[in-house]
Amino acid sequence: MSVELVLVRHGNTFGPGDRIVWVGKGEDLPLVPSGRAQAKALGDSLLAAGWTPTAIFSGGLKRQVEHLALAAPPGSPEAVRLEALDEVDYGDWGGLTTEEIVERFGAEEMIAWNERSVWPGGARWPETEAEVRGRVQSFLDDVSVGAFGERVLVCSSNGLLRWFLDAVPGALERARQEGTFKVKTGGVGRMVFEPAAAVPGWTVTHWNCPPSEFRP
């Protein structure tokens, strides 16, 4: 039995004129109206495709939980919150603008994370890269054996979602080189696990797809 995993980044948390800051696990912002519209657009796409999840998961942040509540098609199971799907905690960078981060800590590590997904060493992020990758892999292990059925819907955040690419050999490194590892707010990805393939494993069929254009 193949397993589909649909991964969505929560919608917008800033509106016109808002002070835009780095929002990690420690910054629990709700969706703004445009973010709720992004969630509803995904719901419309899933409904049009007749795609109903067998399980729904998010981290515990307001923006993730609210997005799922608006995006889940009728007949979906109750959403479950998992700590494994929480956004990365940006430590000293959390709640600061990009300009403030550069002013206080310099540009080098911020640019390396933003452009190449290189984990910073000087921002006091509470977790290590290995720990974040480990919680993503543990969740993927459960999904791949069918523990949650054949259609799994997940809402998380940009800092975490990129590590799902690690499940496909070479995919994350290619995305780093090409600068395509990020998922925009409201963006959608889809991965499929094929246990009966010659080499069982994950493939990525969609990444950073606008919610209104997504078709599973």
Per the annotation, binding residues for substrate are 63, 87-90
Q: Which residues are catalytic?
A: 10, 87
The whole-angstrom separation of Cα 137 and Cα 88 is 15
Of 84, 56, 35, 5, nearest in space to 187 by CA:
35
Question: Residues at the annotated binding site?
Answer: 63, 87-90
The whole-angstrom separation of Cα 169 and Cα 98 is 32
**DSSP-assigned states of every residue in 159-190:** HHHGGGGGGSTTHHHHHHHHT-----TT-EEE
Burial 145-156 (b: 16+ CB within 10 A, else e): eeebeebbbbbb
E strands in the chain: 3-9, 55-58, 80-81, 151-156, 188-194, 201-209
Given a contact cutoff of 8 angstroms between Cβ atoms, the answer to whether 53 and 76 are in contact is: yes
Which position has the token pair 């995006």? 71
DSSP class of residue 57?
E
User: Which tokens hold the place of 42?
Assistant: 């995904």
